Amino acid sequence: MSVSKDEVSRIAELARLRPDERAIERLTRELNGILDHIQVLESVELEEIGGDEETSAASSGFRPREIEADRLGDRGPEGMAPAWREGFFLVPRLPALDQGPALDQGVEPDSGEGPDGAER
């Protein structure tokens, strides 16, 4: 099994990455080297596996379905983000949406009055 440059570009798109042409060439070469190494798995006899053996050797426990108190403790969500208003985190505005002020361009996050057009 080997992958082509086009396939590597497609994988990058799925992985939300944007490698340039040179990086795609390098990744194609490297991924093919790794896939060559992995190919040995095709020769493994897989009969006689099933039931509990099919899953990981480690077992996970289940805890009772209980709703627990908010664990965010003394800080609350507003203490964990640069900006918070009316129950929402404020994040920088995308230039594509309009020419309104972006949050990181001088808007006071805790002014009480949210930045005009700030994305929620």
- Per the CB < 8 A criterion, the answer to whether 91 and 119 are in contact is yes
CA distances (Å), origin 2, targets 26, 33, 59: 14, 9, 35
- Residue 17 CB, nearest distance to other proteins (Å)? 5
CA distances (Å), origin 120, targets 30, 81, 98: 41, 13, 15
The tokens for 24 are: 């795609």
Q: Are strands 88-89 and 84-85 parallel, antiparallel or unpaired?
A: antiparallel
72 counts as binding other proteins under rule CB under 8 A: yes
Give the distance from CA 55 to its chain's centroid: 25
82 counts as binding other proteins under rule CB under 8 A: no
- Residue 8 CB, nearest distance to other proteins (Å)? 7
Query: Is the Cβ of residue 57 or residue 112 nearer to other proteins in the bound state?
Result: 57
- Per the CB < 8 A criterion, the answer to whether 31 and 8 are in contact is yes
Cα–Cα distance for residue pair 88/78, rounded to 1 Å = 9
Query: Is the Cβ of residue 41 or residue 113 nearer to other proteins in the bound state?
Result: 41
String marking each residue 15-54 x if it binds other proteins according to CB under 8 A = xxxxx---x---x--xx-xx--xxxxxx-x-x--x---xx
Query: Is the Cβ of residue 54 or residue 86 nearer to other proteins in the bound state?
Result: 54
Query: Is the Cβ of residue 15 or residue 113 nearer to other proteins in the bound state?
Result: 15
- The footprint of other proteins (CB under 8 A) covers 1, 3, 8, 11-12, 14-19, 23, 27, 30-31, 33-34, 37-42, 44, 46, 49, 53-63, 71-73, 75, 79-80, 91-92, 94-96
